[in-house]
Amino acid sequence: MRRRILQSIVAVVLLTGLLLGLPLMYLGWMWVEDFSRTSLQNRLDQLADEIISQEGEAGVIEGGLDVDTLRLAIPDGGRLSVTYPMPDDSVAHVEIGAEPLDEPLVESISMGKSGSLRLEVSADRMQTMQRQAAAAVGLVVLVTFGAGVAVASVTARRLADPLQDVADRAARLAQGDFRQDARRHGIPELDRVSDVLDSATVEIAGRLQRERELVGDVSHQLRSRLTAVRLRLDELSVHPDPAVVHEADEALAQVDRLTQAIDDLVRSSRTLGGGHRRVPVLAELRTVVAEWQPQFEQAGRSLVLRGSPDLWASATAPRLRESVSVLVDNALRHGAGTCTVLVRMVPGVEPRRDAMVCVEVSDEGMGVSDALAPHIFERGFSGAGSTGVGLALARALVEADGGRLALQSRRPALFAVFVPTARGEDPVAPVEPR
């Protein structure tokens, strides 16, 4: 950020220096030439006055031109050409001064009908002064540019450091660090942002505390009810009928998985996004398929899991399992035919978008109607008399891990869960045994 601010200010200073410096150099160059020519014109006026003073009453020079007085007014290294009328109506021409010059600076004036003065001097002195004037302007521009760079450095540091501090603080807030920061930077806008972050920190911390207390209370109540169910099932497990015992054992296994799922969700909800691990997606989803396989078999349907075992995601394992379980349950309730869970890699389609792991859940049913599709992820909305919480919960769980859940196809229904690929710094998540 500091580099971008510095580059922007330096570019503006440089552009301003060029827009002002180049015209000033040109004006200085032309001013020196105009000054030199004006000086020559003044010399010619003096010479013309001297020649006029040598004219007689008839307005002509009699007895020849006195060049000695004229030579005193000629600049060093200059050459004067004089043309003047004679008493016999002829015209005389006199050259005074140095030899003819190469590329001289020339000025001339007319004196009457037949007279003229032409003064030549070397252009070297004028060109030297022009270069000096251009160099002076260039030096001023260079000094101004240096001052601008110094001011830009101070300004960039004064702006970039506070902005970076505010950005770091917002990042810490997103990671669950709710500590307030009393630092202020003397910039009203950034100080206002810091004040808002302080207020947001207090509000978010309070809400999270209340939500944690609510989650704790709900999980406690659920565990209590599940414990009561387990006790009743334990009584059935000693029933003399083997079929009853088998069903009791299956129900006990479901209670254990549900208890474990509640514990995992409560634990992951308290990590505030910091529980990401390198999750072997196919291995995690095998537990989901194993859990739902009996229900599909009872319904006379098939549940198939496909994909590469080498795909790893950066996610929270309980959230991933629970979100896919919601989709499988949705396919069981509202779909038909074979339900397929496919795990595949989706390459990044933009320079700034990394590759993602995609979990597709599809079935062979009638799909989602056009009327329901726009609202299918809204909490409380259901087209089949259910609570309307499942898909909304699944989307919330996926988004909590930085992914997204989308309805890729309406007919037949195909839901896709996109989660980030595993990062090297993520620890490996233990896989729940089947």
Q: List the domain range (segments joined by +) for residue 31.
A: 2-126
- Establish if 320 belongs to a structural domain: yes
277-318: pLDDT as tens digits: 788 999 999 989 998 998 999 999 999 999 988 899 988 888
Residues 327 and 434 in one domain: yes
Calculate the average pLDDT of the chain: 81
Pairing of strands 312-315, 277-280: antiparallel
DSSP string, 293-353: HHHHHHTT--EEEEE-TT-EEEE-HHHHHHHHHHHHHHHHHH--S-EEEEEEEE--SSTT-
CATH number of the domain bearing residue 222: 1.10.287
Start-to-end C-alpha separation, the chain = 50
Q: pLDDT by residue (tens digit) across 333-371?
A: 889 999 999 999 988 655 445 788 999 999 998 888 888
Q: Is residue 158 part of a domain?
A: no
From residue 396, alpha-carbon distances to 199, 214, 389 in Å are 25, 18, 10
Residues 6 and 79 occupy one common structural domain:
yes
The answer to whether residue 141 sits within a structural domain is: no
Is 261 found in the same domain as 282? no
The DSSP H or E segment spanning 92 is strand 91-97
Q: Indicate if 259 and 303 belong to the same structural domain.
A: no
Residues 186 and 99 in one domain: no
Specify whether 259 is located in the same domain as 318. Answer: no
- 268 and 287 housed in the same domain: no
Residue 145 lies in a domain: no
Let me know whether 22 and 107 are in one domain. Answer: yes
Query: What radius of gyration, in Å, describes the C-alpha atoms of the chain?
Result: 47
Question: For the purposes of burial, counting CB atoms within 10 Å of the CB of 82, is it exposed (0-12), middle (13-18) or buried (19 or more)?
Answer: buried
Same domain for 282 and 267?
no
Look at residue 131 and tell me if it is in a domain: no
Burial state string for 382-402 with b = 16 or more CB within 10 A and e = fewer than 16? eeeeeebebbbbbbebbebbe
Summarised one tens digit per residue, pLDDT across range 141-176 is 888 888 888 888 887 777 777 777 878 878 777 766
Instruction: Answer yes or no: do 432 and 351 share one domain.
Output: yes
Q: How many CB atoms lie within 10 A of CB 344?
A: 14
- Residue pair 259/226 in contact (Cβ under 8 Å)? The answer is yes
The total number of structural domains that make up the chain? 3
213-258 pLDDT, tens per residue? 777 777 777 778 888 888 888 888 878 888 888 888 878 877 777 7
Q: Are 325 and 256 within one domain?
A: no
Does 153 fall in a domain?
Answer: no
- Looking at residue 374, the DSSP 8-state letter turns out to be G
**What is the pLDDT at residue 428?**
56
Same domain, 234 and 351: no
CA distance 413 to 383: 14
